[in-house]
Structure 1
Amino acid sequence: MKSKILMAFIILALYSCQNKDKKDEKSIIKTIAEDTLSKTAAGTADVSEAPQKDDKIVELIRKELQVLLKKDLPAMTREDRFFYYEAFDLNNDKKDEYFVGFSNPYFCGSGGCSGYILNNDGSLINKFTVTDFPIFVSTSSSDKFYDLIFETGGKFHLIKMKNGKYPSNPSVQEVLKGEIPKESTKVLDIQGKKLEKYSF
């Protein structure tokens, strides 16, 4: 009889330990979930690894590329039809302009690559050719737009806005004297940054 009572106590003790473990496990999961939710709601959750993308901007760029490259599209392969973009407010009007670049043989050759700068509404500001990425946005400005620094042929060229356009061929523009200013911002750093690639 004593052995039966002892056995019942052992079973009861084991059962209560298992339940306690399950409760502790549920409690830990609940705490982690609540912590993550509160951080997300407060805006303090670490989402630095999450790719930032705005589908409206991507669609805007896609539509404009369909127009700009209408004659080219039949000759392009599926692999040619990808672009990268980066936003930057070039004229301090609180609206971003979009740098659009490519990294495939259709758009790139021995002299560099071509690309576009688009307005916030998707319309074309500029087409550019023979450039190596990244492009640098300087702190100086011309015609209310920041000056740009393009690398082409191993030299850096200063590109200034004139009459609402940047020159399309940076290789024939003024060679930058001295170093790129440290305050300059890199855009379209296709090789160095993990920029998302989009089809069009």
Structure 2
Amino acid sequence: MRKRNCCMVGLIFALFLFMNNPYPVKAERPEANLSEVTYLKSETKKDNVLEEVFAKEFDLRKGTDSIRYYYNKIDLNDDQIPETFVYLVGPMVCGTGGCSALLLEEKNGDYTVKSRFSLVRTPVIIQNETTNGWKNIVMYVAGGGIEPGYHQLKFDGENYPSNPSVQPIVEEDKIKGIGIINDEIAEDTGIVF
């Protein structure tokens, strides 16, 4: 009986560690042809204004919440002003299905939140095709019991859908676009908040 209880405690502990892992497990990716995706490196320079915006949006405290972030700028609506996509990693913003992200518009040196995303994994791909004047976004979805696949997010006239897992799976054999968040996410990469 004692040996059985010991094994049960070990199993419960392992399950607890798995459920509370702030770094999403890299899932097996379904076959997808990404040969026509051009990849950009994420920015490496801290952005204090950007940090203030996402700290407020997710109620985070600098230096205490173990957050790292990746970001890139790209013009999604062809107005010649790049939007900023920021991907957050850490226990307060991640779960088994992925992590959190924001799409921000910059005006007069200040950021405003255009869209907020959950269940985000890398890569994040911007397609050339547009919906309501904004480029479509492709995100890989897996984990948390979700069927793995690449899902397409289309702009609805005001913002993008927040949950990629309930959006349509990309049907094309070949995904084309620009990969803006492609980093190998590990505990020692990204910008420390």
Give the shorter-chain TM-score range: 0.5 to 0.7
Partner residue in 1 for 2:138: 149
- Which has the larger Rg? 1
Deviations 1:124-154 (A, max 9, x none): 0111011211100011001111000111122
CA contact (8 A) 2:123 2:181 kept: yes
Q: Does 1:189 align with 2:182?
A: yes
Q: Which amino acid aligns with 1:117?
A: L
Match of 1:158 in 2: 152
The structure that is strand-richer by fraction is 2
Aligned-residue RMSD, C-alpha? 2.5
Distance 1:152 1:82 in 2: 20
1:167 has 2:161 as partner: yes
1:180, CA displacement in angstroms? 4.1
CA contact (8 A) 2:43 2:70 kept: no
Residues 52 and 112 from structure 1, CA distance in 2 versus in 1: closer, same or farther, beyond 3 angstroms? closer
Listed one character per residue, the Cα deviations across residues 74-124 of structure 1 (whole Å, up to 9, x for unaligned) are xx8636232111111111111111110123233222111111111123100
Secondary structure at 2:89's aligned position in 1? coil
Match of 1:118 in 2: 104
Aligned pair in 2 of structure 1 residues 53, 111: CA closer, same or farther (>3 Å)? Answer: closer
CA contact (8 A) 2:65 2:92 kept: no
Q: Structure 1 vs Structure 2: percent identity of aligned residues? A: 22
Superposition pairs of residues 1-150 of structure 1, within 5 angstroms: 58-70=47-59, 72-73=60-61, 78=64, 80-121=66-107, 122-150=111-139
TM-score normalized with structure 2 length? 0.65
TM-score normalised over the length of structure 1: 0.63
What amino acid maps onto 2:181 in structure 1? Answer: L
* Count of matched residue pairs: 142
| Deviation of 1:164 (Å) | 1.4
Q: Which runs of 4+ in 1 moved over 4 A?
A: 51-55
- Stretches of structure 1 that go unaligned for 5 or more consecutive residues are 1-50
